[in-house]
Amino acid sequence: MTSALTTRLLPQAYRPLFAHAGFKRLLPALAASDIGDGMSVVAVAWLAIEIAPPGRSGLLLGAALAAYALPGALGALLFGRLLRRLPPGRLLAADSRIRAVLLGCVPLAWAAGLLHPVLYVALLAGSSVLHAWGNAGRYALVSQLLAPDQRLAANALLSSSVSASIVIGPALAGFLAAVVGPAWLIGLDALSFAVLAVQVGRVRAASAGADPEPGPAEGAAAGAERSYEGLRLMRKQPELLGVLALTWFFNLLYGPAEVALPLHVTDDLHAGAGLLGLYWALFGAGAVLGGLAAGALRRFPLWPVTLGIVAGWGLALVPFGLGASPPVTLACFTLGGLVYGPFTALSYTLFQERTPAASLTTVLAARSAALLTAGPVGTALGGPLVAMMGPRGVLAASGIATVALACVGAAVRIAGTRRRCSRPVHGSGPCGGAARP
């Protein structure tokens, strides 16, 4: 009775998903691993601060956050020839097992008194080396399981799970860190990936034979070769290169803020993990609401809205540098999440509208390989910048630089539009209809 009522309350597009046994089994495990990663947003940073030598917390924090993500970018390029031969279910399971084992070693080493900063960074780096492939396997496996007309709704659920984890995970971490300690929170993240590995195995067993063998061209191409091919295709679409450059620098400038915020909480505000968790929870809540509004934003020109999002996020960080009180900066961080929420969807929409269907997968693979480097590089730079400027200075500088990035992007966009209008295409009007993003 309850199941039937729940099904009737679901929007029509989502009902077939919850009638599919494989997807219904996989979704809770994916959501659990997303919440585990959401807790690690706080736990990885907090544990780095706890075990850092005196005066080195900023450097270790930047190194730990970079190690939790940057090796995934390297793995996306270095292991292409080997891993592209594997079906998506095996990729997702392999990534989940590695993360379960290596992240599980963190609380064990901490409990034994062996968690040296170098070992901590090494375990985080090892756990993330296949994460880009695991994320690709997640979406590819769902694509295999479901009919083409069900995939959009499934992708919406997966992305909503990630956004919701930003709300739930940090809030749980802020509460539990004072009870069990950040090391054990990372252990819970490891447990969530162990559960995911088991569930992926059950789904693959239930749908044996569903994983197709890759064709010769796909199986033999290395990840780097595929990325270069995607960049070559994007050269024919300068607008796509512009979107990629804007997104790369946007993510880069966000990285130092991710390092500076925990230190702002501890050093400037003299507060605990609960306040840090509240910052991220409110950011996530804003991002969920902003993401849901992305559909309405399609009524507006996508480029101006995208540039407005970049500028809006930068403005939300500036009050940190002015010494604003925590209630004010909490409100700014919430507003920043609300503004940022639609960015990913709008960026993908620009790529989808400008890329031929036959080339879309190749171009998006190149996009992912490039963007995987931006955030980790930014977080790696965050440690030295905090040491030089202090947490408040880094947050303000990140915001101002992000606003400047939006201004540069707008200037380049206007210049490009004027060039197109000065060279009309035969028979297509003064701008050839090309200026609409």
Whether residue 429 is predicted with pLDDT greater than 50 in this model: the reply is: no
Q: For 205-246, how does the pLDDT look when each residue is reduced to its tens digit (9 = 90+)?
A: 555 444 444 443 343 334 444 545 556 666 667 777 888 889
pLDDT-derived band at 334 (thresholds 50, 70, 90) equals: very high
Region 240-263: mean pLDDT is 88
- In 3D space, the residue among 401, 390, 264 whose CA is nearest the CA of residue 325 turns out to be 264
- C-beta of residue 75 within 8 angstroms of C-beta of residue 227: no
Helix (H, G, I), strand (E, B) or coil at 312: helix
| 24, amino acid identity | K
CA distance 226 to 228: 5
Q: What is the pLDDT of residues 167-189, one digit of tens each?
A: 788 778 877 877 888 899 999 99
Q: Position of tokens 């950011």? A: 283
CA distance 425 to 295: 31
Residue 10 gets the label, from left (phi > 0), alpha (psi -120 to 50) or beta, of beta
Of 37, 145, 149, 128, the residue nearest 88 (C-alpha): 145
Determine the Cα–Cα distance for residues 172 and 34; give it in Å rounded to an integer.
Answer: 13
Position 199: which residue type?
A: Q
DSSP string, 368-409: HHHHTTHHHHHHHHHHHHHHHHHHHHHHHHHHHHHHHHHHHH
Which range is least confidently modeled, 7-11, 85-89, 169-173? Answer: 7-11
Residues 285 and 160 sit within 8 Å (Cβ to Cβ): no
Q: What is the pLDDT of residue 193?
A: 94
| Banded model confidence at residue 305, pLDDT cuts 50, 70, 90 | confident
Residue 173 tokens, joined: 């971490």
Distances (CA, A) of 71 to 8, 49, 64, 369: 44, 21, 12, 11
**Residue 402: which pLDDT band, with cuts at 50, 70 and 90?**
very high
Residues 6+ apart with CB under 8 A from 85: 214, 219
Residue 149 tokens, joined:
């007309």
pLDDT at 332 (0 to 100) = 94
